Amino acid sequence: MTDFDDRLRFAIDLATEAGALARSMRQGLGAVETKSSIDFCTAADLAVEALVRRRLDEAFGDPVIGEEAGGDPAELVWVVDPIDGTTNYIHGTANWCISLALVHRGTVEIGVIYAPDLDQLFVARRGQGATLNGRPLRTSGLRHGGGAVVEVGWSARRPLALSLDLITQMIADDIEFRRCGSGAMGLANVAAGISDGYVELHINAWDALAGLLLVREAGGWTNDFLAGDGLRLGNVVVACTAELTGRLQALGPLRGVA
């Protein structure tokens, strides 16, 4: 039997260690590699991922799929974004995080997201709920009584016109939108009830898997992200408080997402 409890405790400690390393490297990062107009890599991204890989190998011998160094699917594999929200990290804003997810036989078992500048530690274990700094999380349930607020991520891997169409249809349905620059944190905020949903027409697994488990364990709804080889190729993502599911699925660019 795989000891998920040991791995969960280890992932919590590892995320906080990785966050401390990233914070310590924030000044004097040197050259920034531009992967796309919205996607960057710093020396800190590389160093944090190397730390995570080394620690997991030493402790368990587990394989890793990481944003910077890649990796291959396996029966049990960690999926890691060393710094999600690198643009925010570079610019000195707080909305960035370390994201760790453990996938076993095609199911996400563990999700840990740590936002060092916000001192927020999100933890989820499949079937055991989700927490923020030890406090149980629930999605909003639209209990606030106001209009729904959904974060919209943007990916250059899909035509810009589709994202604009999505936003146009959201506005027509009285759904407010925002973009904060970190998919992992966007999903974590859905689990915490800060946002009512998160959508993106394409996102990579390392950005999404930990946050998707958080949302599900907090009582929300998510699409089947791992369908169609989502672990390797990424996928569309829809995550929301359950009460908003039908409205989001009715939007043209998201129609048929299940």
pLDDT band at 18 (very low <50, low <70, confident <90, very high): very high
Arithmetic mean of pLDDT, 56-73: 95
Q: Identify the bridge partners of residue 43 per DSSP, sorted by sequence position.
A: none
Q: How many residues does the chain have?
A: 258
CA proximity to 66, closest of 56, 78, 75, 58: 78
Give the strands of the sheet with 149-152, arranged side by side.
176-178, 149-152, 197-203, 235-240, 221-222
Residue 28 has pLDDT above 80, yes or no: no
In whole angstroms, what is the distance from residue 156 CA to residue 184 CA?
A: 17
SS (H, E, C) 169-197: HHHHCCCEEECCCCHHHHHHHHHCCCCCE
AA identity, residue 255: R
pLDDT band with cut points at 50, 70 and 90 for residue 26: confident
The whole-angstrom distance between residue 70's C-alpha and the CA centroid of its chain comes to 17
**In this predicted model, what pLDDT tens digit does every residue of 80-120 receive, in sequence order?**
999 999 999 988 999 999 999 999 999 999 999 999 999 99
Are the CB atoms for 84 and 185 separated by under 8 Å?
yes
Per-residue pLDDT band for 40 (boundaries 50, 70, 90) equals low
Using 50, 70 and 90 to split pLDDT, how confident is the model at 27? confident
- 125 confidence band (pLDDT: 50, 70, 90): very high
Condensed to tens digits (0 to 9), the pLDDT of residues 232-257 reads 999 999 999 999 999 999 999 999 99
Q: Which residues contact 144 (CB under 8 A, 6 or more apart)?
A: none
Burial of 151 by CB count in 10 Å (0-12 exposed, 13-18 middle, 19+ buried)? buried
User: 183 φ, ψ to 5°?
Assistant: -65, -40
Report the predicted TM-score, pTM, of the whole model to 2 decimal places: 0.94
HSE value, Cβ hemisphere, 13 Å, CA-based, for 96: 24
* pLDDT tens for each residue of 135-168: 999 999 999 988 999 999 988 899 999 999 999 9
Dump pLDDT digits (tens) for 184-224: 999 999 999 999 999 999 999 999 999 999 999 999 999 99
What residues pair up with 100 in beta bridges, in sequence order?
80, 112
